[in-house]
Structure 1
Amino acid sequence: MDEAVDEAGWDVEPGDEIEPVVQAVGRLVKICREAAGLRASELGETMGYGEDMVRKIERGVRIPRPEFLERADRLLNAQGHLRAFMEDMRRARYPQKVRRLAEMESRAAEMLLYSNHNIHGLLQTPEYAKALFETSLPALPPDQVERETAARMARKSIFERHPAPVLSFVQEQVTLERPIGGKMVLRRQLERLLEVGQLRHVSLQVMPTDREDHAGMLGLIEVLKFTDGTAIGRSDGAFNGRPVSNPRDLRVLEMRYGMIRAQALTPRESLAFVEHALGRL
């Protein structure tokens, strides 16, 4: 029963802008339950969840899974009113910071992405992402690992956008060699890099460890450019790590990124490097 309770949904982050919607859905669940003449314990037992979890959903402190709403709609004869919120709750399950990032990525016409500690989130496989979150200290609870992993995988829809954005990735060599999650997880991750690297709108480059000159020593760089001519960027080693959007600051990030690309292996050389790394596993 404890596992079923954990599967009912996700906690609402304090101050999350989605909180009023979650609360409205919770009130609707309660109204439909009472109209059906069921107690919270009875609804929970019928659906395989605990009474406490049902009451948390009704109070708006727990985000119900879309599957919960679909089943509850049938059981309570809600005539589609609960199912109507399934997509809202599907989006709500992702952390607020991830929703905002995904929204910006959905508007980007071009993205410049340099990663130095791990494979960039947009390139990660589910197994690699899960293993990466499991390295966190203090340790994340299992449901948060699941939530964060699902959110990261949802962002990969950017590869299916039309028109497709131009995506430039530069990965440090060490990120292709560190076996996060074990060698089999790394093998599948490298195979994924080879798949993505073949896409016409994607440039994937590797920065070799033996480079004497390296413009990326101050940490990761991310720049998102939008169709209206605006952009936003951030870097661990610039502007105190805060996002910047004014042209002067963006020029600094683009200058560093341009130099990193020039110092890295070419896209063709980089794919050959990934293939070689895969062959060593």
Structure 2
Amino acid sequence: MPGPKGLDPSSSPRALLGAELRHAREKAGLSQNELGQRLFVSGSFVGQLEAGTRRIQPEHARVLDEVLGTEDFFQRNCKAAAKSKYPEHFAEAAEAEATATEIRQYAPLLIPGLLQTPAYARAVCRAYQPTAPEEMIEELVSARMERTRLLDDPTEPLLWAVIDEAALRRVTGGPEVMAEALRHIADLGRRGRGIVQVLPFGAGAHAAMEGSIKLMDFEDAPPLVYFEGVGTGRLEDDPATVRHQRFTYELLMACALSPQKSLALIEAMAQDYAHEEPP
């Protein structure tokens, strides 16, 4: 497996640790696979640590210091690299998302975070935490909107979303919020900033009825898939698992409406919401 390209250590604490890990590993004369064996992980996982797409966990930091003879360097610094504005179960996935070159996501129940508007995100966060102080909700919304800045770049990452019709029919925040949210998605699609397909109710049973899928590809690290549940989430790099989830996603694409028909449906639904009287 080719090693990662040079990193800018100033970009983040995680990038700094990744650069230091690569330096220490090469100084010790170990390959990624050899170091992975000491950590009981794959060589590709070590590559992800060095590329900054995965965090160094405390249990790994201790072994790294022992194997690489770095005293307590990684143990002291992995805590600083772990600080995040995102919920703990999602933090690593959000950080990986920021370095991905391609993101493919199937969303069965809500509009994907990268496609959300502030008002829609606020309604979702409030539903998740109905008793939280307003300041906490605004912090969550701000963090989510910061993620959407990935789409400010006109070309990267490639974003391809398959959205279940159920996510578009569930009135989240009221008709006005939904109208704005759907117009936003349509605008991104019309501008070529993302590919969006709707999986209609008429498609019937499909390959991902049990949950969401999020696939991420990187320039110099192996692909990842993110599994998410209520208050839980995990990244997986097992090649067989990623391959299976990619095949599942391709089946969803085949069952979904074409991008052109999907945008037409989304725009029509936005019009319907815009003319709907609020309760």
Per the normalisation by structure 2, the TM-score is 0.63
Q: Give, in whole Å, the separation in 2 of the partners of 1:93 and 1:231.
A: 24
Q: Give, in whole Å, the separation in 1 of the partners of 2:137 and 2:247.
A: 35
Alignment deviations for residues 142-189 of structure 1 (CA, whole Å, 9 cap, x no partner):
222111100000001111236511111011112112111111111100
Aligned length in residues: 192
Structure label with greater radius of gyration: 1
Of structures 1 and 2, the one with the larger relative CO (CA 8 A, separation 6+) is: 2
Q: Which residue of structure 2 lines up, in the alignment, with residue 253 of structure 1? A: 245
Q: Which residue of structure 1 lines up, in the alignment, with residue 172 of structure 2? A: 180
Q: Which residue of structure 2 lines up, in the alignment, with residue 139 of structure 1? A: 131
SS in 2 for 1:218: coil
Alignment deviations for residues 205-225 of structure 1 (CA, whole Å, 9 cap, x no partner):
000012123112011000110
Report the aligned-residue RMSD.
Answer: 2.6
Aligned-pair CA distance for 1:265: 0.4
Per the normalisation by structure 1, the TM-score is 0.62
Q: Which runs of 5+ in 1 are unaligned?
A: 1-16, 19-87
Q: Report if the CA contact (8 A) 1:113-1:222 is conserved.
A: yes
Q: Give, in whole Å, the separation in 1 of the partners of 2:179 and 2:249.
A: 28
Task: Give structure 1 regions of 4+ aligned residues with deviation exceeding 3 angstroms.
Answer: 91-102
Q: Which residue of structure 2 lines up, in the alignment, with residue 47 of structure 1? A: none
Return closer, same or farther for 1:150/1:225 CA change in 2, 3 Å cut-off: same
Alignment deviations for residues 40-68 of structure 1 (CA, whole Å, 9 cap, x no partner):
xxxxxxxxxxxxxxxxxxxxxxxxxxxxx
Aligned-pair CA distance for 1:236: 4.9
Q: Give, in whole Å, the separation in 1 of the partners of 2:148 and 2:193.
A: 14
Q: Which residue of structure 1 lines up, in the alignment, with residue 199 of structure 2? A: 207
Aligned-pair CA distance for 1:94: 4.9
Q: Which residue of structure 1 lines up, in the alignment, with residue 220 of structure 2? A: 228
Return closer, same or farther for 1:123/1:162 CA change in 2, 3 Å cut-off: closer
Q: Report if the CA contact (8 A) 1:95-1:151 is conserved.
A: no
Match for 1:126 among 111, 118, 128? 118
Q: Which residue of structure 2 lines up, in the alignment, with residue 271 of structure 1? A: 263
- How do residues 1-281 of structure 1 correspond to structure 2 at under 5 angstroms? 93-95=85-87, 100-137=92-129, 139-161=131-153, 163-236=155-228, 242-281=234-273
Moved more, 185-194 or 101-110: 101-110
Moved more, 102-111 or 121-130: 102-111
Q: Give, in whole Å, the separation in 2 of the partners of 1:209 and 1:96.
A: 33
Aligned-pair CA distance for 1:247: 1.1
Return closer, same or farther for 1:190/1:236 CA change in 2, 3 Å cut-off: same
Q: Give, in whole Å, the separation in 2 of the partners of 1:211 and 1:139.
A: 38
Return closer, same or farther for 1:180/1:262 CA change in 2, 3 Å cut-off: same
Q: Give, in whole Å, the separation in 2 of the partners of 1:131 and 1:137.
A: 10
Q: Report if the CA contact (8 A) 1:235-1:253 is conserved.
A: no
Calculate percent identity across the aligned residue pairs: 31
Q: Which runs of 5+ in 2 are unaligned?
A: 1-12, 15-79, 274-279
